[in-house]
Structures are given as C-alpha cells and as structure tokens.
Structure 1
Amino acid sequence: MNWERVFTIQNDTEFNEICLDTFHFQMNNVPIYRKYVQYLNRKIDTIDHYTKIPFLPIEFFKTQKILAQNVSSEIIFTSSGTTGMVTSNHFVAQKEVYENSFRRAFEQFYGKIENIAILALLPSYLERTGSSLIYMINDLMEQSKQPESNYFLYNHEELYQTLLQLKAKGTKTILFGVTFALLDFIEKYALTFPELIIMETGGMKGKRKEMIREEVHELLCNSFQVPGIHSEYGMTELLSQGYSYSDGIFKHPSWMKILIRETNDPLTLAANKKTGAINVIDLANRYSCSFIATQDLGKIYEDGSFEVLGRFDQSDIRGCNLLVQ
C-alpha cells in the first residue's frame, strides 16, 4: 500500500479512488466485512462512489475479530468500560500506520510536535491496558523536545508547578485531560494561562455526576482563563482523529471523512446540516475496516466539518471523548 498517497490526499477525486480501492481490498480480505456486505445483498459493481459503500456497525468490534486474512496484529487496542461491559477490540496490523496518522494530523492542527510540551492528566486511561490514546500520547511525548512533557497521575501540585514554569518560559503547551480529573484539579488550583491548550479527552468515567459540555467548559475556561476548550474526536476502532478548537465543530485530516446517515434508515445518508448518526471513513484502517457506522449523533456542514451532538440512547457508554448534551 502506498501510504504516502493516502496521507497526502489533495481532493475528493483522489479520496474516492482510494476509498474504492480500500473497499474492494476489504471485501476480498476482511471476512466479517465481506459477510456483512453480502448479507445486505448489495451489487458490488454498482458501488462507484464512497457514498455508496456499506458501513459496518461499530458493535461488530465487540464480538468479532475484524482483521484482514493472512495478516497478524502488532497490537490490540481495547475500549474502556465499566465492570461487566463488553469492550471493543481493534486488531492493528501495523503500528507504524497509526503513528503516521496521528503524527501527521496532530502536526496539521497544532504544529511541530518537538516545539510543544505534552502534559497528560489521564488517570482512568493509565490504570488500564490497551488504550490507543495512551499509545498516542506516549509517542507525542517522545517526539516532543520539551523536558517538561510528562504524565501527572494524581499529583496535582506537580502539574500546577509545571504549568507555571511553562507559562513563564512561553512554551507552547497542551494539557490532555479526562474531564473528571480536570475538574478535580481546578477545585484546588487556578491560574491565568490563556495560551494553554486544554484537550478534553473523556467524560466522568463514573467518578462524578454527568454534566453538560457547556457547563464543564465554562468551569475550565474560568479556572485557566483560556478562551475555549479543545476536543479530540477519536475512538478505539479508528486510527485517525478529528479536532475541535473550542467551538464544538470538528475538522479532520484529508484521509478521514464524516457522513451522516438517517437514524431510522441506517442504509440511507442524510443531507448536510441534518442531524443523524455518524458514519466514519478512516483510510488508515485498511487492514481492519475503513467504513464504520458509529452510535454517535451529529451533523456535517458544507465545508466537511462536523458537530457531535451525543449518542443513541440505546448505545452503551464507551470510552470516547464526548459529553452527551
């Protein structure tokens, strides 16, 4: 596979060509996806555009091994979940592809990694194995040339002092934080650091009562004196992410695309600006499944950006990065 071509897609024509190539590859090589498409009784020769490609329900990652034939996995990412919950497994054939994907997207949205201090307040993720987020942040910390880059499990005083040092030095800083841990931190600490980028990466994880996103963001903005809270749209089943700069509108790299399907007819796509269920195309996911029907609700805009509005009520709560509004 020419990954450089995937990660440097320039237009919709190129995207469509690689989508169709990926679709045929996965039809021929990923048994679960092939069986699903055959079950739908779709005529393969009529699929000439990515909007016609069938999307695999994300629930299959909980019960099936979704991996191309004759390919072994280098790593398995698992979703978080409460005790007794069935979690997703993402069998990743090439760690290098995931690294390429998140490094390029991160640099596209935030600049050179080596110039950024990466701080992480992610206790719930560190206390389990198989987190794709932790894998990404470990790598970003290694790529960073800033000595302050580090994890802060429950040591809030050390995090506070580190933030003060980075502010004084004028170092570009990103703080990745799970929501409940960020709220725990601001109960004791506050500082004026308007240049700080706070990247919210998850919800309450059962540690606090649920709050609407606007309320959480207002508290964080006031405590850090930042203009807004950033967010990442990613999940265990994907190898690519989208980012929001604080307005709740996400953008994604060129090898990823969001489509919206009708909630009452999962095989039909909805019009722009209409609320529906989110379908994700992730071309980095070649050896798994690139066409995933999520349980997230949202809408897309004319420029391809998208908004996440919550989840289906019947969907169990998974370790993703959004708060139900």
Structure 2
Amino acid sequence: MSLTNELAAFIQTGQGEFNALSLRLFAYQYAHNLPYRRFCNGRGQTPETVTRWQDIPAAPASAFKRFALTCVPEEECVKVFHSSGTTGSETSRHLMSADALALYQVSLTAGYERHFPPLPLLGLMPPPDASPHSSLSFMLETLGAEFFWGESSHDTLARTLTGLAIPCTLFGTAFAFVNFFDATHGERFVLPADSLVIETGGFKGRSREIEREELYTLLTKRLDVPPDHCFSEYGMSEIASQFYSQGLTGPKLAPPWLRTRILDPVTGTEAVLGQPGLLAHYDLANVNSVLAIQTEDLGVWDEHGGFQLLGRAPGAVLRGCSLLAE
C-alpha cells in the first residue's frame, strides 16, 4: 500500500499509528521537497535523527509565500490554494498534486462528518468558479453545499431560509453573516429545529466589525438557533484539515490525524496549561507540502481539551479565509 493510501486509511478508519506515519511522511517530504530539506538541514534535523513527531521541523507558514513547497514538480500540481490577503499583498500558495487533492477531500469530509450530521449545507461564500484558489470554497463544494454570495443573493437566501421545511447547516464567514443581517434589516428567520450554524470568523474591513459575542447573539436571535447549535471552524490554506469548536467558548478540537503543539515564543518549549503560545500544527493530510507548520497564531490549552484561539501574534500579517471571500 502506498503512503498516501495508508494516510487515507488512517484518516477514514483510525487504523495506524500517528508517530510512525508522521515519520514516514517526514522522510518522504525531506527527500522530495528541496526547500524543506534545506530548512531541516539548517536545523540539523533529518529523518536519521528525528524519532518523534514532535521533533519534526515545523516550517514557518510564511515559507508558503516565498517557496514552492511541493514534493512533485510544480507543473504537475493540479490545484493551488492561496491564503487570503488584501489587494497587492503577498499570499501563501499551497500546491496540491492529484494525490494530495484527493487526500484533502478525504480529510475535510471525514473531519466534517465527525462533528456534524448530514444536513443540507448552505454556504455564505463564493463558489469555486468565482474563487478558484479558495480552499474553503473547494471544501464546501466537496461537501455538496448550495452557495449564496454577494448582495444579489441576499433576497434569495432570505426566501430560502423562510421556506425551509427541514433542518440545515448554514456555513459562512463572519462578515458574510453581518452583511446578510444588515441587508435584511432586522428580519428574523426561524430555522427548523436542529439546524446548525458554522462561522469561520474574520472581518478585516469587509463589513462593520463586531465582537464575537455580538455575532453569536445575532446568530441566535436572527436565526432562532440555540447557542450550542453555533459552531466555529478554524483552518488555514496551508493545512488540509480543520478544527471545530462549539458555542462561544468551546475549545478548538482536531481530528486524530491532526495534532498541535503550543510553544513559548521566546524559548520554543512546550507551553503549559494556561500559558499562551504559538500554534504549530502537524497534519497527516498535508502529503505534498510539509506536514508540520509553525503558525503566527496564538493559542492556549483548554482544560477540557483542545485549545482556545487567541488571535494573531503581535506584528503578524493578518490573513484568514474571510479575506479571500471578498
């Protein structure tokens, strides 16, 4: 069985061992991803010296802006996902081979289905043909979403929500929800019982900006869903898997094939419970690029499992899926 097939089997069935698969994937990426190999050599960490997944060198997320981090020739990649960015800003590129794209679909589907029932999915974001480099739009298309986007769709979405006879999942960026609520002038939509709402966060000047607490108040009042039916998705274009949290204060939870370290930004050592640090993600679904990524996001371990996302580290360039949706 190929490494990609073993990774897919681990994601789908849980059969396999995270550390062993991580080390095999690290060895493959070290051998075939030249910029990453140079990075690892500079740190003195190679497949011959690394024995734990925690010691696999985590490439800075910013490296996706400057290098073609790919294990196959760039011209053989079938898809490129870009991070969000303001006009003229430098964005990350996540290059996907055919195998990597197929594994991404396995990962996003399995991760979503771990948390949510198979309800009709309505997406408040541009469809892939309007945003071909958006990993989030690709994700929702894979999950079978019906897309609603732009001012012209507000009336259509309002009619759709009013006419719903069965529960649905409404999935969108935070500023898309705010724009929709503003456009419908206080109208209240009573979603069928057991409906769910998933927001991806982010405003970045794309709507009036409100606090997260106010957003969740709007979601519950304007859509008539209880607070524990509101969820948040946290992902990055540089990784192929997603975190989800429930309610306003629920921790970000990862599937078994995605693990996180929280590191003291000064010492690089593991942060203890209650100590904020930089998030480093280790994603077995990242087969063509690098499995270990050091982010510029701050988080803190939650006593109930998972972590609380605290936002961007001071001075980091803002980015997020919500920007690309513009």
- Cα distance change on mapping 1:91 and 1:222 into 2, 3 Å: same
Quick one: which of 135, 158, 161 aligns to 2:159? 161
Instruction: Compute the TM-score of the two structures, normalised by the length of structure 1.
Output: 0.86
Give the aligned partner of residue 195 of structure 2.
196
Q: CA offsets, 1:227-261, max 9 Å, x none? A: 22311111111111111122341111111111101
1:284 partner SS: coil
Partners of 1:231 and 1:243 within 8 A in 2:
yes
Q: What is the deviation of 1:265? A: 2.7
Partners of 2:281 and 2:292 within 8 A in 1:
yes
Give the aligned partner of residue 173 of structure 2.
178
Give the aligned partner of residue 102 of structure 1.
108
1:190 partner SS: coil
Q: How many Å separate the matches in 2 of 1:23 and 1:248?
A: 32
Give the aligned partner of residue 118 of structure 1.
121
Q: How many Å separate the matches in 2 of 1:140 and 1:60?
A: 29
Quick one: which of 1, 4, 10 aligns to 2:8? 4
Residue ranges of structure 2 left out of the alignment (5+ in a row): none
RMSD of aligned Cα (Å): 2.4
Partners of 2:231 and 2:246 within 8 A in 1:
yes
Q: CA offsets, 1:291-325, max 9 Å, x none? A: 00011111234665121111112111112469xxx
- Cα distance change on mapping 1:207 and 1:321 into 2, 3 Å: closer
Pairs within 5 Å for 1:1-325: 1=3, 2-8=6-12, 10=14, 14-42=17-45, 44-70=47-73, 72-94=76-98, 95-112=101-118, 116-123=119-126, 128-141=131-144, 149-154=146-151, 155-166=153-164, 169=165, 171-187=166-182, 188=185, 189-193=187-191, 195-228=194-227, 229-246=230-247, 247-266=249-268, 268-301=269-302, 304-320=305-321
Q: Letter of the 2:278 partner, please give it.
A: A
Between stretches 234-243 and 126-135, larger displacement belongs to: 126-135
Between stretches 252-261 and 190-199, larger displacement belongs to: 190-199
Q: How many Å separate the matches in 1 of 2:315 and 2:231?
A: 27
Q: How many Å separate the matches in 2 of 1:44 and 1:104?
A: 29
Instruction: Compute the TM-score of the two structures, normalised by the length of structure 2.
Output: 0.86
Q: What is the deviation of 1:286? A: 1.5
Residue ranges of structure 1 left out of the alignment (5+ in a row): 143-148
Give the aligned partner of residue 146 of structure 1.
none
Percent sequence identity is 31
Q: What is the deviation of 1:179? A: 1.5
Q: Letter of the 1:80 partner, please give it.
A: S
Q: What is the deviation of 1:222? A: 2.1
1:32 partner SS: helix
Q: What is the deviation of 1:203? A: 1.5
Q: Letter of the 2:223 partner, please give it.
A: F
- Cα distance change on mapping 1:272 and 1:53 into 2, 3 Å: farther
Aligned residues: 308
Q: What is the deviation of 1:90? A: 0.5
